[in-house]
Amino acid sequence: MSKHENIKNKVSDIEAMSSSHWNSINPEYVARMRMQNRFKTGLDIAKYTASIMRKDMDEYDDDTSKYTQSLGCWHGFIGQQKLISIKKHFKTTNKKYLYLSGWMIAALRSEFGPLPDQSMHEKTSVAGLIEELYTFLRQADARELGDLYRKLDNASEIDKAAIQNQIDNFETHVVPIIADIDAGFGNEEATYLMAKQMIEAGACAIQIENQVSDEKQCGHQDGKVTVPHADFLAKINAVRYAFLELGINDGVIVARTDSLGAGLTKQIAITNQKGDLGDQYNSFLDVEEVDSDNMNHGDVMINQDGKLVRPKRLPSNLYQFKKGTGEARCILDSITSLQNGADLIWIETEKPHIGQISGMMNEIKKVIPNAKLVYNNSPSFNWTLNFRQQVFDAMESEGKDVSAYERADLMNSSYDDSELAIEADNKIRTFQADAAREAGIFHHLITLPTYHTAALSTDNLAKEYFGDQGMLGYVAGVQRKEIREGIACVKHQNMSGSDMGDDHKEYFAGEAALKAAGKDNTMNQF
């Protein structure tokens, strides 16, 4: 018995037990609507997607070629179109996720208007976007299944079995979302409350970073301020309690460290004995030894290995770490997080360099052998310049002639067809596979690609449409490409749900239904 028929039989049982005034309800239509609405709540989604992530994590442990990927999406429509495109091109959504970027929430979804990535946007906006994304993905399910049901109704008996098989084996557009909770938006109670909202909206994975909430900066900006491990672990605990309270036992926590680029801390950690976490954190502080003769009024002193030392305090009242300690702090942060509740780690680097990433991951794996990394393939990196310079340096170290290249000017288009540029592009192309194999990267994401693609496509259209090309700028640059490349959105009325609405009108009103999809609907031109 097909999945559809099983649902239909259950509906018929309900009908049989109900009073006669239900006799206008068609079990076939109810079965279709239930198939089209697989997930009833955000918690249903969170449970389903958490199990997917856990399965993917296990598969990666066995085979590093089975890494996962996502793109940051700032609107439900963008996320929906991404998943429709993935299904069209790859026939499956396997190991393809969504990333919800706090950066794009701030820049594009705040009621205050565009904001920098400094946790100034509304706390509820993250959960709101999660719910929006899943609303659009569920609509994509309903739309595609609706199209299949209409095909089924109009198909010959020979074709019906194949279409029914597509319906019964339908793969949902609903995939895991890794959602950015920034630095937790306050104390651990605030983190817990916000995490609950995000999980109830459908999030199965929450990413949290070890910066001070009220001093939070984008991971690729200056001025980052970290917190002692105890503060960060309290927030990891808060997220875990939120998952467990809501019954999402497989919920995933991604612990991000910004220590590589953060040279500052707001607090001196509490330490009770030599070598504890607080002591290790404080050991990285930039200090100078003092005695009674060189102490100043208001100085803060700590005892470090039996010596009285003064941590360097800046006019901002922040304390400074020793230069060159970033990697060691990242390693300690990552190990500590994985030992205390985190499932995955995220190390924010200043450049995409597999050697740098693997160097830290190898140290982490000495303690946590199955440590897995989430990595930001960030648009904040100049990928072309970084990889051309990496290839230049490798060629130089191998004794090859690099006199034809100016290292500082490798972005120049004159190098585009050179041996160096071709090699750099190939390394960019294989970066994800190479880094997954060599540096323990389980999940590759790009934080804000659709921010840039929206700007680029709009620029291209504006340049052509308002210029000499006029209407041809839209027709040749957009619509003709949509038609020829099979972009579903070219039938925008269908994408908006018009055909599904017609289906429902027929269910509800029968022959009296006023439908939009008649012969005069211009969508028939496509």
Supply the residues annotated as catalytic.
218
Beta strands in 51-102 (DSSP E): 68-72, 96-100
Give φ, ψ of 372 to 5 degrees.
-130, 145
Phi-psi region of 88 (alpha: psi -120 to 50; beta: other; left: phi over 0): alpha
Give the burial class of 504: count Cβ atoms within 10 A of its Cβ; 0-12 exposed, 13-18 middle, 19 or more buried.
middle
d(CA 67, CA 89) in angstroms, rounded, equals 18
Tell me the residue length of the chain: 526
Among 233, 78, 256, 96, residue whose Cα is nearest residue 181: 256
CA-CA distance, 449 to 12, in Å (whole number)?
48
Question: What is the C-alpha to C-alpha distance for residues 465 and 492, in angstroms, rounded to an integer?
Answer: 20
Cβ neighbours for 396, distance < 8 A, ≥ 6 positions apart: 402
What's the pLDDT score for residue 230? Answer: 95
CB 144 within 8 A of CB 136: no
Nearest to 73 by CA among 104, 33, 118: 104
- Across the chain, how many H-helices and E-strands are there? 20, 14
HSE (CB half, 13 Å, CA atoms) of 227? Answer: 23
What is the rounded distance in angstroms from the CA atom of residue 109 to the CA atom of residue 130?
12
CA–CA separation, 248 and 207 (whole Å): 16
Extract the tokens encoding 436. 């997954």
State how far the Cα of 446 lies from the Cα of 377, in Å rounded to an integer.
5
Question: What is the DSSP secondary structure assignment for residue 324, as one 8-state letter?
Answer: T
SS3 content of the chain, % helix, strand, coil (to 5): 55, 10, 35
- Domains of the chain in start order, with CATH, are 1-36 (no CATH), 42-258+344-382+439-456 (3.20.20.60), 467-512 (no CATH)
Q: 373 with 442: CB under 8 angstroms?
A: yes
What's the token pair of residue 205? 């994975």
End-to-end CA distance of the chain, in Å?
36
The C-alpha atoms of residue 213 and residue 182 are separated, in whole angstroms, by 8
Distance, CA of 80 to CA of 173 (rounded, Å): 8
Low-confidence ranges of the chain (pLDDT < 50): none
Per-residue confidence (pLDDT) for residue 24, from 0 to 100: 82
